[in-house]
A = this chain, B = another copy of it.
């Protein structure tokens, strides 16, 4: 039995060790089974600081915090001194001074946390709720949790990641982590949304070739809000060329599952009728997100000294 390194912040899953990720998954699963947090006997304040719109990530962090018995401060960007030009650094410095223990931040700025983690004056634990085109580590964790829950192990699993690969902040983390844990990764979708650096992780193939052979079909959201509208296909064209149509779904293996980080553009990435179908784990992903985030919050707050692999 060996203990593993404590983490103070959780900003990147890619920089986490396999042991750390597996322990987070184990704790998330325990929380799902009803295990309670042995929290420190003091009032803990969590602040959520979201600079980008969010339903799932924001609200599931809130619920995770409350399930852990934390006090939640919903920081309102629009009515804060950020509007007077105060920086993120000075805002988090303030929250730290006010006694906030953990701050969850979503920002459009990649690696916004660098300056926060370097400050000797900021005592808050920082949790990354998504940074620009960087990472979305809690999403990666809940995706891994959902796959692990289904198949027990990642080794040899065939996972296709399909769609807006370059704009997704979870696709790159997922391809890295899945590969590290022994899965085989494939890609599909529009060529212009693929990048040659992904070749390192797996083949880029037409969806029709992949669909009958995979265990996990991970569809990515077409992020209209991050595009300039210049792409050359309509929603219907996208659906037919790169989406999970009802016809393609029929060719999926019996045990295959469908995943999507949501919000789903129904009838674009996935046919409307399939979103809540038996093979879909989209609702389960959202459910697991609460427990994955509980595990993350526990990890940064109480360390891992007492847990063992």
| CB nearest neighbor in B for A93 | B283
Q: Are the C-beta atoms of A63 and B73 separated by less than 8 Å?
A: yes
Query: Which A85-100 residues have a C-beta within 8 angstroms of B?
Result: 85-86, 90-91, 93-95, 97-100
Contacts of A80 in B (CB 8 A): 53-55, 58
Inter-chain contacts of A264 with B (CB < 8 A): 90
Chain B residues lying within 8 Å of A71, measured Cβ to Cβ, are 63, 66
**Mask of A52-68 contacts with B, CB within 8 angstroms, 1/0:** 01111011101100110
How many of these chains are in the complex?
A: 3
Bound-state CA distance A171–B20 (Å) is: 51
Would you call A53 and B81 a contact (CB within 8 A)? Answer: yes
Q: Which one of B86, B225, B266, B287 lies within 8 Å of A98 (CB-CB)?
A: B287
Q: What's the Cα separation between A83 and B223 when bound, in Å?
A: 12
Q: Given A67-B43, A73-B62, A287-B99, do A81 and B56 touch, yes or no (CB 8 Å)?
A: yes
Cβ–Cβ < 8 Å partners of A60 in chain B: 98
B263 touches A56 (CB 8 A): no
Any B CB within 8 A of the CB of A33: no
Cβ of A50: which chain B residues have Cβ within 8 Å of it? 79
28 contacts between A and B (CB under 8 A): A43-B67, A45-B63, A45-B66, A53-B84, A54-B80, A58-B79, A59-B73, A59-B94, A59-B95, A60-B98, A62-B73, A63-B100, A74-B76, A78-B78, A78-B79, A84-B263, A85-B263, A86-B263, A90-B262, A90-B264, A93-B276, A93-B283, A97-B283, A97-B284, A98-B286, A98-B290, A99-B290, A121-B283
User: Any chain B CB within 8 A of the CB of A75?
Assistant: yes
A205 within 8 A of B: no
User: Nearest 6 A-B pairs (CB), nearest first?
Assistant: A97-B286, A55-B81, A86-B263, A55-B80, A53-B83, A97-B287
A109 adjacent to chain B (CB < 8 Å): no
A56 CA / B97 CA spacing, docked (Å): 10
Apart from the given pairs A54-B79, A55-B80, A90-B263, 5 other A-B contacts in the complex at a CB distance below 8 Å: A50-B79, A59-B98, A63-B98, A86-B263, A97-B287
Judge if A224 is at the interface, Cβ distance under 8 Å: yes
CB of A258, distance to nearest CB on chain B (Å): 15
In the assembled complex, A289 has its CB within 8 A of some CB on chain B: yes
> Chain B contacts of A86 at CB under 8 A?
55, 263
Question: What CA separation (Å) do A224 and B84 show in the bound complex?
Answer: 8
Which of B74, B91, B225 has a CB less than 8 Å from the CB of A55? B91
A58 to B79, CA, bound (A): 10
* A166 contacts B by Cβ under 8 Å: no
Instruction: Give residues of chain A (193-237) contacting chain B, Cβ–Cβ below 8 Å.
Output: 224-225
Any B CB within 8 A of the CB of A82: yes
- Quick one: given A99-B63, A99-B290, A263-B86, are A94 and B45 in contact (CB under 8 Å)? no
B43 touches A81 (CB 8 A): no
